[in-house]
Amino acid sequence: MNFSRVTVPTLKEKPADAEIASHELLIRAGMMRNVAAGIYTFLPLGASALAKVENIVREEMNRAGACEIVLPNLHPAEAWRESGRWFQYGQEMMRLTDRQGRAFCLGPTAEELVTLAVAKSAPSYRDLPVNLYQIQTKYRDEIRPRFGLLRCREFRMKDAYSFHASYEDLDATYKRMYEAYVAMAKRCSLDVRVVEAPTGLIGGDVSHEFMVLSGVGEDIVVHCLNCDYGANAELEKHQPGRRFGTDSSYPLEEVHTPGLVSVTEVASFLDSSANNVIKCVLYVAGDELIAAFVPGYRELSEVKLARALGTDNFHPMREDERELFPQVTVGFVGPVGLSGVRALFDEELKGKKGLICGANRLDYHYRGVEEGRDFKAEPLVDIALATDGDRCVVCGSELIVTRGIEIGHIFKLGEKYSKPLNALFTDADGSLKPIVMGTYGIGTSRMLATIVEQHHDEKGIKWPKAIAPVDVEVITLNPDREEQLIAGREIYENMIKAGFSVLLDERELSAGVKFNDADLIGIPVQVIIGRKTSEQRTIDLKVRYTGERFEFPADGIEEKIIKVFNDIC
Spatial neighbors of 213 by CB under 8 A, at least 6 apart, are 191, 193, 221, 402, 403, 404
pLDDT tens digit sequence for 370-408: 999 999 999 999 999 999 889 999 999 999 889 999 999
Cα separation, 533 vs 517, in Å, equals: 21
- Return the bridge partners of 456, or none: 461
**Is 464 within a domain?**
no
Is pLDDT at 126 greater than 70 in this prediction? yes
262 and 222, same structural domain? no
Residue with the bigger pLDDT between 115 and 196: it is 115
94 and 169 together in one domain: yes
In a domain, 374, yes or no: yes
In a domain, residue 13? The reply is: no
The CATH number covering residue 531 comes to 3.40.50.800
Residue 33 one-letter amino acid: R
When comparing pLDDT for 497 and 121, which is higher?
A: 497
Same domain, yes or no, for 78 and 195?
yes
Shared domain for 485 and 536, answered yes or no, is: yes
pLDDT tens figures, 137-152? 999 998 889 999 999 9
Please count the other Cβ atoms lying within 10 Å of the Cβ belonging to residue 360: 21
Residue 167 lies in a domain: yes
CATH of the domain at 151: 3.30.930.10
Average pLDDT over residues 434-457: 96
Q: Residue 536, exposed/middle/buried by CB under 10 A (0-12, 13-18, 19+)?
A: exposed
What percentage of residues in the chain have a pLDDT greater than 70? 99
Inter-residue contact 126 to 430 (CB < 8 Å): no
pLDDT at 342: 96
- 88 and 114 co-located in one domain: yes
74 and 204, same domain (yes or no): yes
Do 206 and 64 lie in a common domain? yes
Give the end of a domain, one of 348, 381, 414. Answer: 381
In a domain, 386, yes or no: no
Query: Any alpha helices (H) in 291-349, and if so which ranges?
Result: 302-309
Q: 3-state class of 310 per DSSP?
A: coil
Average pLDDT over residues 21-50: 96
Same domain, 445 and 503: no
DSSP 217-252: -SEEEEEESSSS-EEETTT---B-SS--SBSS----
Residue 6 lies in a domain: no
Number of structural domains found in the chain: 3
pLDDT, residue 519, reads 97
- 8 Å CB contact between 471 and 565: yes
pLDDT at 202: 66
- State the CATH number of the domain containing residue 285: 3.90.960.10
Q: Are residues 135 and 211 in the same domain?
A: yes
Q: Is residue 40 in a domain?
A: no
Domain span at residue 532 reads 470-567
Least confident span in 74-83, 301-310, 349-358: 301-310
pLDDT given at position 203: 60
This prediction has a pTM of: 0.85
The answer to whether 18 touches 96, Cβ cutoff 8 Å, is: no
Region of 556 (left: φ > 0; alpha: ψ -120 to 50; beta: rest) is left
Q: Please indicate, yes or no, if residue 20 is contained in any of the structural domains.
A: no
**What phi-psi label fits residue 200: left (phi over 0), alpha (psi between -120 and 50 degrees) or beta?**
left
Kindly state whether residues 425 and 527 are assigned to the same domain. Answer: no
| Residue 213 clears pLDDT 80, i.e. is over it | yes
Domain match, 329 and 363 both:
yes
Find all residues with CB under 8 Å of 207, minimum gap 6, and list them: 196, 197, 198, 199, 409, 410, 411, 412
- Looking at the fold, whether 366 and 411 belong to one and the same domain comes out as no
